[in-house]
Structure 1
Amino acid sequence: MTANVGGTVALGDNAARQLANATKTVPQLSTISPRWLTHLLQWVPVEAGIYRLNKVKNPEAIKVACTQREDESQLPRTYVEYEERPREYFLNAVSTVLDVHTRISDLYSSPHDQIKEQLRLTIETIKENQESQLINNADYGLLSQVVDEQRVFPLTGAPTPDDLDELLTKVWKEPAFFLTHPLAIAAFGREATRRGTPPPTVSLFGSQFVTWRGIPLIPSDKVPVADGKTKVLLLRIGDKRQGVVGLYQPGLAGEQSPGLSVRFMGINNHAIASYLISLYCSLAVLADDGLAVLEDVEVGKYHDYADIYK
């Protein structure tokens, strides 16, 4: 098609584009998130897929005494008893089989390799599911492992500085971070600002995070929101601190990253190449006071924004 510009006939845009190379992006996957939880956890390699959590039984029964300088004959006698049936964690698999037609990978892999992109996008989805399982899995997820003594309920509905302080009384031994839905962080920021204590921020991994008492509030869209309510978790991290640890299987065949393997399964008689993608993981809370949750916090938006400034 030609174009008439100022009375002069010239080549038009639509026809000219046929000779031009378009710059093409890789496929953009809107469900990808930063997955801060998996970055912040300490990951412990697990032999044979089993992690046995040994605990001391009746720790208050361990007897010690401060004796007088001249009287050491009355020393208490004691021993440390272990639980006879400790909990065992078994690694959970997040898996799928990726199918790619060889005709597609042969003909349409320039400028972007079709197999590489298919694997990348599938792996990203598996890792998103991994973070969701670490929070929500009915067996080993964070929310399922909070004991009753470590559950707190909000004073007014919305998450307030007082509520987060109450959480800190439950995980007071070296707390690492709060974990909650972005809506709860926004609601907390409104409540804190309304009380005249706007929360400061801190830079981690090149991103800014709201903090309370110097402890960052880490966002994750995997923390469930239902009927305008969600939860706020507080974690202590690491095996040396008797906190929360992630578990993974090292040395997998076809290992791409810790706990993640990709294995070529062959090409069938329909010219379909198949790849088995598996990620093995779990999560353990080493001590009950390493994890606490603020239940049922309201994250609904203000109907009257003037209330924020009262």
Structure 2
Amino acid sequence: MANLNKNTQQTALGDVAARQLAIATRTVPQMVTITPRWLTKLLNWIPVESGVYRLNKVKDGTAIEVDCSARDERVLPQTFVDYIDDPREYNLAAVQTIVDVHTRVSDLYSKPYNQIGEQLRLSIETIKERQESELINNKEYGLLHSVAPSQIIKARTGAPTPDDLDELITKVWKEPGFFLLHPQAIAAFGRECTRRGVPPPTISLFGSQFLTWRGIPLIPSDKLPIVDGKSKIILLRTGESRQGVVGLFQPGLQGEQSPGLSVRFMGINEKAIASYLVSLYCSLAVLVDDAIAVLEDVEIGKYHEYKYL
């Protein structure tokens, strides 16, 4: 009877052995640091073929004289528009990395997914994440460092309130485009709206839903820094024709994959390692002071320092 039970237990194929003949469905590598990067989608991008963008400005718009006289008036004011003598020039900044792939790996292990292609895809995603961070935080041209002192206000009660966002709108009242803030700041604003009984409506952009205030969407970005439980909220107007904020990129790059981004093969070294240079050239310009305003000292309710790229 013991032998019969032993033989009976061996008549069914086990899961472990059966899996040796099965084909697993594989995914491409997933990476948690990839975000939607809404800021780069919402900016208007201007090609800068020389690598330099010169921002010319009028010296004093209030000095331009015009007249609205009676019909019999014979003397009209004569005027001209003067320009500043030393306009600011923006140089494109580079975000780069070198991707190394051993030829043996790419030759033997590129089915079903190409190893070189996946290495480049993930590196490009990381570079684009860094690009959004630089557009916000770069000390030379980032949004947070391009705000005129007159365009900076502080949160009244700590948590972001409808009153705070209304005051931001008064600073960027000429066709405001969107608020840019950390997802936790959006949650804090939503709580304040709910507490006041004025839940913000939503709008659909790029197939996703966004909260709005006064019809202006609240766009999330985790690149807004959080320090000691406080963050900042930006309101901006975009577009060159609206004298707003514009993104700058280098067109016509060798090995161009997308505007301003290129991949170049650098060769194979003596250790059979193939190298690829991934470069992204970009910058940002605020055309006039009232194109952007910032709300500071926004409490989000979680007191920790947020490490952005």
Same fold (TM over 0.5): yes
CA RMSD, 1 decimal: 1.5
Change (3 A) 1:171 1:5: farther
Partner of 1:59: 61
In structure 1, C-alpha distance between the alignment counterparts of 2:49 and 2:297, rounded to whole Å: 38
Number of matched residues? 299
* Cα deviation, residue 7, structure 1: 5.4
Partner of 2:164: 163
Is the 1:93–1:280 contact (alpha carbons within 8 Å) kept by the matching residues of 2? Answer: yes
Is the 1:4–1:10 contact (alpha carbons within 8 Å) kept by the matching residues of 2? Answer: no
In structure 1, C-alpha distance between the alignment counterparts of 2:19 and 2:170, rounded to whole Å: 65
Is the 2:244–2:291 contact (alpha carbons within 8 Å) kept by the matching residues of 1? Answer: yes
Is the 2:229–2:302 contact (alpha carbons within 8 Å) kept by the matching residues of 1? Answer: no
Partner of 1:211: 212
* Cα deviation, residue 9, structure 1: 2.1
* Cα deviation, residue 8, structure 1: 6.6
In structure 2, C-alpha distance between the alignment counterparts of 1:4 and 1:48, rounded to whole Å: 81
In structure 2, C-alpha distance between the alignment counterparts of 1:283 and 1:165, rounded to whole Å: 26
* Cα deviation, residue 157, structure 1: 0.5
* Cα deviation, residue 48, structure 1: 1.2
Partner of 1:134: 135
| Identity of matched residues, % | 71
Describe the superposition over 1:40-65 as per-residue Cα deviations: whole angstroms up to 9, x where unpaired: 00000002100000000011111111
In structure 2, C-alpha distance between the alignment counterparts of 1:212 and 1:4, rounded to whole Å: 72
In structure 2, C-alpha distance between the alignment counterparts of 1:286 and 1:50, rounded to whole Å: 15
In structure 2, C-alpha distance between the alignment counterparts of 1:60 and 1:188, rounded to whole Å: 38
* Cα deviation, residue 69, structure 1: 1.3
What is the TM-score normalised by the length of structure 1?
0.94
Partner of 1:105: 106
In structure 2, C-alpha distance between the alignment counterparts of 1:282 and 1:195, rounded to whole Å: 40
In structure 1, C-alpha distance between the alignment counterparts of 2:7 and 2:30, rounded to whole Å: 38
- The one-letter code matched in structure 2 to 1:283 is L
Partner of 1:220: 221
* Cα deviation, residue 4, structure 1: 8.1
Is the 1:223–1:231 contact (alpha carbons within 8 Å) kept by the matching residues of 2? Answer: yes
Partner of 2:177: 176
- The one-letter code matched in structure 1 to 2:273 is I
1:238-277, aligned counterparts within 5 Å?
A: 238-277=239-278
Out of 20, 23, 35, the residue aligned to residue 21 of structure 1 is 23
In structure 2, C-alpha distance between the alignment counterparts of 1:90 and 1:100, rounded to whole Å: 32
Describe the superposition over 1:173-209 as per-residue Cα deviations: whole angstroms up to 9, x where unpaired: 0000000000000000000111111101111111110
Describe the superposition over 1:133-192 as per-residue Cα deviations: whole angstroms up to 9, x where unpaired: 000000000000000000011110000000000000000000000000000000000001
Change (3 A) 1:251 1:5: farther
In structure 2, C-alpha distance between the alignment counterparts of 1:16 and 1:57, rounded to whole Å: 79
1:281-296, aligned counterparts within 5 Å?
A: 281-296=282-297
In structure 1, C-alpha distance between the alignment counterparts of 2:10 and 2:127, rounded to whole Å: 57
Partner of 2:119: 118
In structure 2, C-alpha distance between the alignment counterparts of 1:5 and 1:148, rounded to whole Å: 85
Listed as ranges, the gaps of 5+ residues in structure 1 are 303-310
In structure 1, C-alpha distance between the alignment counterparts of 2:105 and 2:302, rounded to whole Å: 47
